Structure 1
């Protein structure tokens, strides 16, 4: 698996040749998970069915159990993910931010992912 590195702001890193890519590492899979969680359903013009269905499956009047199912499924469908070994989510009602903490087994080894949506 080869994945282009992202900087701290989520932008692609370019101009450093091979150093711009993650290859066959747990970090590559973790970055793929984060990228897939950030993609909104209908946002990619080549495949409007691709993306995380935040509306209506996560945002709005949903329970933790219903949106956790959607997020877990999206993670499990990511290339290189073998299993989710630990999952925790927290919804902050004041800031309206959802934080997801994951530990996943990948085909390259274990890694952790924290994403704030």
Structure 2
């Protein structure tokens, strides 16, 4: 598995040759999970079915029973993920942010992902 590394601003890294890529590592799979969670359904013009279905499945349904299964499924469908070791989500109604913290088992080892949506 090969993934272009993202910098601190979540932009693609360029100018460092092979160092701009994550290859066959837990960090590589973790970045893939984060990228997939941030992609909205219908946002990618090449495949409008791809993406996390926030509009129908997450937004406006501020219950763990509604959004956790959708997010967990999206994580488990990521290439290289073999399972979820730990999962926690917390919704803050005042800031309208959902924080997902997950420890994933990958084909390369264990990785931790934290995404704020």
1:72 aligns with 2:72: yes
What CA RMSD, in Å, does the superposition of the two structures yield over aligned residues? 0.7
Once residues 67 and 61 of structure 1 are traced to their aligned partners in structure 2, the CA distance between those partners, rounded to angstroms, is 7
Q: Which runs of 5+ in 2 are unaligned?
A: none
> Number of residue pairs matched?
117
Deviations 1:58-106 (A, max 9, x none): 0013421110000000000000000001000000000000000000000
Once residues 27 and 76 of structure 1 are traced to their aligned partners in structure 2, the CA distance between those partners, rounded to angstroms, is 16
Once residues 71 and 84 of structure 2 are traced to their aligned partners in structure 1, the CA distance between those partners, rounded to angstroms, is 11
TM normalised by structure 2 equals 0.98
DSSP 3-state at the match of 1:82 = strand
The residue that corresponds to 1:18 in the other structure is 18
Q: Which runs of 5+ in 1 are unaligned?
A: none
The residue that corresponds to 2:59 in the other structure is 59
TM normalised by structure 1 equals 0.98
